Amino acid sequence: MPVAPRAALMAFLARHQRFLLTTHINPDGDAIGSEVAFARWLRAQGKQVRILNDSPTPLAFEWLTQDDPIDVHEDALTERLFSEADALVVLDTSNRPRIGRISFSLDRHAIAVAIVDHHATHDGFGQVNVVEPDKAATACLVFELMRAAGSPIDTRAAEALYVGLATDTGYFRYSNTDASAFEMAAALVRLGVDPQAVTTRVQASAPPGRLRFFGEALTALEMLEGGRLAVLEVGPDAFERHQLTGADTEGLVDMPRAIAGVELVALFSEGKPGRVKVSLRSTGRVEVDQLCSRLGGGGHPHAAGVLLMGSRADVRARILPELSQLLAALDAAPARGAAGA
Ligand code: 5GP
Ligand code: MN
């Protein structure tokens, strides 16, 4: 009989000694929070741990990494860390290309891989794949694993897990917010998390240019499909003018969800010319992960994304008709509700 993934992971952690942790490109709060908590968990067991990501840690989460530094990919460093490690744990993604340049070293090193993730769209490239899409955040999984192992969770680990949980649920507003999310939050607060202090540290980290950039993008907001589809677009010139990077769009795509009648929001973000990051959000009735998955991206039913090459006009021309179709299917389908969806 196959071993259940969680048990297989515990055996995997027990049989290795020198761990390398990584996560997806442009890491968010769940990615960084899960890495920090996981690193502390392993270190408390006497394991050797390094954390290495393709992209730098956003300023908002840097404070979490004070005692658990996160290295950023450089060819020589990545090669060295791979040769020193005997196991790789990938957190918050199970799509190999999503770990960016770290995946090139995976081709060259025979290293054991375990995945801990909550995305429904996955290829599970580990020997061990703990992928639980019903979890609101990867941090929830890490929390449950630590609890089940009877491992103590110190205040810093609790803060890291809280950041993962809070950011992935939109501070307990999105459809993935369930009773267990609140139970976990309560447990973390009992372990020493100060929600107000943590939220301030995460949210009060934007340069003024970020709000001006948001202002410009929101001024140009387009309402299509009879007001059911909100579209935002940002180009390389705006990123440059405000000295921002791709990660600075975090939160922008969520804002038009506030408009009455909106079913879908699309953000076309061209950080570098010819590379357009598409972010899609649904207010609950339409599912967008399959569309992103088909184009090489992925995510969750109500929040997904994909990176496409081409001009913003090209990418819009590929995506917008697909979104129209999703909305048309909604018209054709019987209303939800009675079925309890
Ligand atoms: P965002 O639009 O905020 O970048 O991402 C929304 C959700 O979709 C997140 O859960 C994120 O991990 C996932 N996602 C975004 N872009 C990609 C992508 O290119 N590939 C995959 N597999 N998932 C993505
Ligand atoms: Mn996540």
- Pair 103, 221 in one domain: no
The pLDDT value recorded for residue 335 is: 56
Give the confidence band of 338 by pLDDT, cuts at 50, 70, 90: very low
Give the confidence band of 245 by pLDDT, cuts at 50, 70, 90: confident
CA of 280 to the centre of ligand 2 (A): 15
Please check whether residue 185 lies inside any domain of the structure: yes
Q: Give Cα separations from 204 to 31, 88, 232 (angstroms).
A: 19, 33, 24
Any ligand 1 atom below 6 A from CB of 299 = yes
Side-chain-facing half-sphere of 88: CA atoms under 13 Å: 25
Q: What is the pTM of this model?
A: 0.91
Residue 90 has pLDDT above 70, yes or no: yes
For the CA of 122, the closest atom of ligand 1 is: 22
Domain boundary among 174, 203, 232: 203
Closest ligand to the CA of 24: 1
Q: Which residues contact 166 (CB under 8 A, 6 or more apart)?
A: 29, 172, 185, 195, 198, 199, 202
Q: How far, in Å, CA of 319 to CA of 301, rounded?
A: 16
pLDDT above 70: percentage of residues in the chain? 97
Any ligand 1 atom below 6 A from CB of 33 = no
- Pair 169, 254 in one domain: no
- Pair 115, 56 in one domain: yes
- Pair 189, 213 in one domain: no
- Pair 308, 228 in one domain: yes
CATH number of the domain within which 280 lies: 3.10.310.30
Any ligand 1 atom below 6 A from CB of 27 = no
Give the confidence band of 187 by pLDDT, cuts at 50, 70, 90: very high
Please check whether residue 337 lies inside any domain of the structure: no
The pLDDT value recorded for residue 30 is: 98
Phi and psi dihedrals of 165, rounded to 5? -65, -50
Q: Whose CA is nearest to atom 17 of ligand 1?
A: 305
- Pair 214, 198 in one domain: no
Domain boundary among 188, 203, 218: 203
- Pair 111, 246 in one domain: no
Structurally, the chain folds into a number of domains equal to 2
The pLDDT value recorded for residue 141 is: 98
Residue 340 has pLDDT above 50, yes or no: no
Any ligand 1 atom below 6 A from CB of 95 = yes
- Pair 171, 224 in one domain: no
- Pair 189, 141 in one domain: yes
CA of 45 to the centre of ligand 1 (A): 32
Phi and psi dihedrals of 119, rounded to 5? -90, 140
Q: What is the mean pLDDT of residues 116-128?
A: 89
CATH number of the domain within which 117 lies: 3.90.1640.10
CA of 29 to the centre of ligand 2 (A): 8
- Pair 15, 153 in one domain: yes
- Pair 166, 303 in one domain: no
User: Higher confidence at residue 258 or residue 341?
Assistant: 258
Domain boundary among 173, 203, 233: 203
Task: Show the domain range for 159.
Answer: 5-203
Using an 8 Å Cβ cutoff, are 267 and 251 in contact? no
